[in-house]
Amino acid sequence: MKSIVTGGAGFIGSHLVDKLLDMGHDVVVLDNFSTGREENLSHVSGEVNLIECDLHVKGDWVQEFNGVDWVFHLASLADIVPSIQNPEGYFRSNVDATFYVLEAARHANVERFIYSASSSCYGIPGKYPTPEESDIRPQYPYALAKRMGEELVEHWAQLYNLPTISLRFFNVYGTRSRTSGTYGAVFGVFLAQKLANKPYTVVGDGNQTRDFTYVTDVVNALIAAAESSLSNKVYNIGSDTTVSINKIVELLGGDKIYIPKRPGEPDCTYADISRIKNDLGWSPTISIEDGIDKILENIDYWKEAIVWDSESIADATSDWFKYLNK
């Protein structure tokens, strides 16, 4: 078997590469290192064909799809504020690139195409747990671009019979999550603060809850989707529970301060995963306690990460308040 992983040097992608190699696959990684790190694959450097390329421009990389069985399209730009500040870049990376990857997969007649969609498409949901048929109401360009990519995938399945499944990830966490760049996911922020002996910056009152899903559970969902014979399906990927930010602080240990609640963010994210349980037999296995233990065992990964404080966060998120506070 041969698989392509776009974004394979990134957080989720590198863990997926590990799994595919364990399964005996030949693996090609396509990555431009905008968010991924070559170090994430250093332990398998001799086993992976790693190609640096930009997917939003059609290039020689399309030749890598010849003879490929499975395609996992994980490459994308994430984060809210940068998407507000640079929507063009997000549409190139998350929409244009998805188009070109779909076309490469279609012309190569691949067996399976798995797309990493985002639960951000739900905006502020009206129901918890949130099922896949919930209203789609993205709040910012990142969420919109990921949803548009998902629509492209659906259309290629309908029109060209490309065998696809889209997985809407909720709050993925774990080892190798991003350590550099813009203010983003809570675990990366908190772990850098812990290493620096600084207080955790908790948004709002900390009672908001998130569906934190450990990265290896997400990888197992990706594999289950690829092994399935179903097509043109969309599934939520979550932990089957929701945990408060205050609880995360308690598990990490340390002091905390509170910073202003941000507009456009839900008070809860909580995936209804009954559909994927029924269709694919997938369920998460890593509890939040076990997941945090795994992270803390590898906390030195975040030793060079930016250490955010209330002032730098306020500056970094000013456009968030400017455009979403309506």
Look at residue 182 and tell me whether its pLDDT is greater than 70: no
Work out the mean pLDDT of the chain and round it to a whole number. 95
Q: What is the pLDDT of residue 326?
A: 66
Whole-angstrom distance, CA of residue 231 vs CA of residue 110:
13
Q: What is the pLDDT of residue 215?
A: 97
The total number of residues written for the chain in this structure: 326
Average pLDDT over every residue of 47-62:
97
At 317, the pLDDT band (50, 70, 90 cuts) reads confident
DSSP assigned state of 239: -
Token pair listed for 193: 């603060």
In the chain, the amino acid numbered 158 is Q
- What is the share, in percent, of the chain residues with pLDDT greater than 90? 87
Cis peptide before 129 (omega within 30 of 0): yes
Q: Is 142 a catalytic residue?
A: yes
Q: What is the SS3 assignment for 257?
A: strand
Using an 8 Å Cβ cutoff, are 47 and 27 in contact? yes
Distance set, CA 190 to CA 137, 203, 313 (Å): 29, 12, 13
Token pair listed for 98: 């998805």
At 123, the pLDDT band (50, 70, 90 cuts) reads very high
Q: Which residues pair with 196 in a beta bridge?
A: none
Using an 8 Å Cβ cutoff, are 74 and 16 in contact? yes
pLDDT in tens, 266-282: 999 999 999 999 999 99
From the list 190, 227, 192, 219, the residue with the least C-alpha distance to 286 is 219
In the chain, the amino acid numbered 197 is N
Task: Please name each of the domains of the chain with its CATH number.
Answer: 2-172+213-237 (3.40.50.720), 174-211+240-270+286-324 (3.90.25.10)
Residue bearing the bigger pLDDT, 170 or 302: 170
From the list 278, 239, 215, the residue with the least C-alpha distance to 74 is 215
Q: What is the pLDDT of residue 305?
A: 86
| Angle, helices 186-195/245-252, rounded to nearest 10 degrees | 30
| Angle, helices 141-160/97-107, rounded to nearest 10 degrees | 20
How far does CA 154 lie from the centroid of its chain? 19
pLDDT in tens, 124-162: 999 999 999 999 999 999 999 999 999 999 999 999 999
Using an 8 Å Cβ cutoff, are 190 and 302 in contact? no
**122-37-213 Cα angle (round to 5):** 35
Whole-angstrom distance, CA of residue 175 vs CA of residue 11:
8
Token pair listed for 91: 């549409």
Using an 8 Å Cβ cutoff, are 226 and 112 in contact? yes
| Angle, helices 288-297/245-252, rounded to nearest 10 degrees | 50
Whole-angstrom distance, CA of residue 105 vs CA of residue 107:
6
Using an 8 Å Cβ cutoff, are 192 and 179 in contact? yes
Tokens 């041969």, located at residue? 2
Average pLDDT over every residue of 237-252:
97
**Annotated catalytic residue: which of 115, 122, 140, 142?**
142
